[in-house]
Every structure is written in C-alpha cells, then in structure tokens.
Amino acid sequence: MKRNVGIAIVVSLAVGLVTAGSMSRLFAQEVTIVGEIVDWNCYKKDTKNKGAAHRACALNCAKTGAPLGVVDEQTGEVYKLAGEAWTANKNEKLIPFVAERVTIKGKVEEKGGEKILTILSIEKAK
C-alpha cells in the first residue's frame, strides 16, 4: 500500500510539473512591441550592437541560425525571439527584418531570467 501511495505521489508531481510548464505558455501575456530586430548574442554583449552599423554582422549571424531578439523602443527591454514558424531554417522568415524597425505581436514568457517572445505576427513598422 505504501508503495502505491509513493508511486501516486511521484506521478502526481510529474503531471503537475508538465502541466505547470504548459499552463505558463497557455497564459503567456500577449503583447505588441515596436522595436529593432537584433542579433541576440551581440546585443547582450554590448547594447551598441544594433542599427545600420551592426546590420552586416547581424545578418551574417542570423543566417547561421543564431538567435535574434527585438529591442522595445519604448522600454529598452530586449526579448529573445521564438516561434518555430519564424526561426526555422536558420531564421529564414526573419532575415528581411534584421536591423529593421518592426511591429511584432506575440506572447511573452520568462525563462531563466530572459524574456522570450513567441512571434504571432511581424511586419515592418510604419
């Protein structure tokens, strides 16, 4: 009997952890951000790594599949971009937006102290 209770507890905890992870994605906050698409790694090293001066480097990194981010022009916060439909094939669909001012709609969640923005839609800002 004790063994069955122990197994039930372990299974309940495992299900709870999986459900909690799924629930955080389900209830992620939907936002619209206007900002610049940057090379995540370069920008995290130095926030000056953006704009036209950094465009060639950012494009080269993006084409290798390096992670990209968006810098919110209102708050200065940077969000790591996610979403298989957008980041697949070495950022193929995001390449036209690198170092450009864009409007992104997506869902934000925090993982490991980083803000992750799963893209729902993106267009060049007006």
User: Facing residues of 68 across strands?
Assistant: 39
Residue-wise pLDDT tens digits, 48-78: 999 999 999 999 999 999 999 999 999 999 9
* Share above pLDDT 70 across residues of the chain, in percent, rounded to a whole number: 79
Q: What is the pLDDT of residue 19?
A: 45
- Which residue bears the tokens 């790591």? 80
Residue 112: predicted pLDDT:
93
- Cα-based distances in Å from 36 to 11, 41, 100, 116: 44, 14, 5, 15
pTM of the full structure? 0.78
Identify the pLDDT of residue 18.
46
The domain over range 29-124 is classified in CATH as 2.40.50: yes
How confident is the model at residue 98, as a pLDDT?
97
